[in-house]
Chains A and B, each alone.
Chain A
Amino acid sequence: MFEITDKPIAAADLEDLVITNADGAVVTFAGVVRGHSKGKKVLYLEYEAYKEMAEKKMAEIGEEIKARWPIDRIAIRHRVGYLEIGETAVAIAVSAPHRQEAFEACQYAIDRLKRFVPVWKKEVWEDGEVWVGREGG
């Protein structure tokens, strides 16, 4: 349930992986490719991951969530390779007995992922390209 893949992904696909009869809420998050960055028109993004470590770190985020909330099931999938505008780069699904913890845990998961999971993106514009660093978000 913690996966780096080069295939297209969709947040809805993760819902079935996490929902159980004990749950009353499923929250999903999809991070999608924006068409503009700092006033420049983006043509596409290129994502790259340190796959083994990224999957391990995503699983650790899952463990952190289980320790903080009454939540058992979390799924995170991050895509790598060339992504067009509007495509999903990262998808997260969290199920919980009640909505509040599901919302909180889902936000926690994406915040942690963006800080610690070794995945990088390159923005490619009409007149150049750059690997986005922490400052660039």
Chain B
Amino acid sequence: MMKVKLKLFATYREKVGQSELELSVPEGSTAGGVLARLVADYPALAGLAGATMFAVDQEFAAADAVLYDGQELALLPPVSGG
């Protein structure tokens, strides 16, 4: 197992009730795999998952990006700044 820091924003943060989670996930886990696990724990997130983008260590990443121990994964709903 390895540790990943999960950053949550906007709707994700509100529905989970936290802005950051420390997760233990199996070696070789992907960004999308972590999201799937979160949705399993919080079914209210299911409708959001399709439009979500990922960032690993503050850089955009694909759903199939493999994570490494100590990395920071962020779930990014569609942005709406400005």
- Tell me the A residues contacting B by CB distance below 8 Å: 31, 47-50, 52-54, 56, 78, 89-90, 110, 113-122, 131-137
Is B43 positioned at the interface, with any CB of A under 8 Å from its CB?
Answer: no
How far is B60's CA from A91's CA once the two chains are assembled, in angstroms?
Answer: 24
A118 adjacent to B9 (CB under 8 Å): yes
B76 nearest in chain A by CB position: A118
Is B3 positioned at the interface, with any CB of A under 8 Å from its CB?
Answer: no
Given A56-B58, A118-B74, A134-B51, the answer on whether A50 and B80 have CB atoms closer than 8 Å is no
B58: chain A residues at CB < 8 Å are: 50, 52-53, 56
Given A50-B9, A53-B74, the answer on whether A89 and B55 have CB atoms closer than 8 Å is no
A134 adjacent to B55 (CB under 8 Å): no
B59: chain A residues at CB < 8 Å are: 53
A113 adjacent to B81 (CB under 8 Å): yes
A110 adjacent to B82 (CB under 8 Å): yes
A131 adjacent to B80 (CB under 8 Å): yes
| CB-CB nearest 4 A-B residue pairs | A119-B81, A134-B78, A132-B80, A120-B10
A121 adjacent to B74 (CB under 8 Å): no
How far is B77's CA from A115's CA once the two chains are assembled, in angstroms?
Answer: 12
Q: Which of A53, A121, A136 has the most CB of B within 10 A?
A: A53
B81 adjacent to A121 (CB under 8 Å): yes
B77 adjacent to A120 (CB under 8 Å): yes
A53 to chain B, nearest CB (A): 4
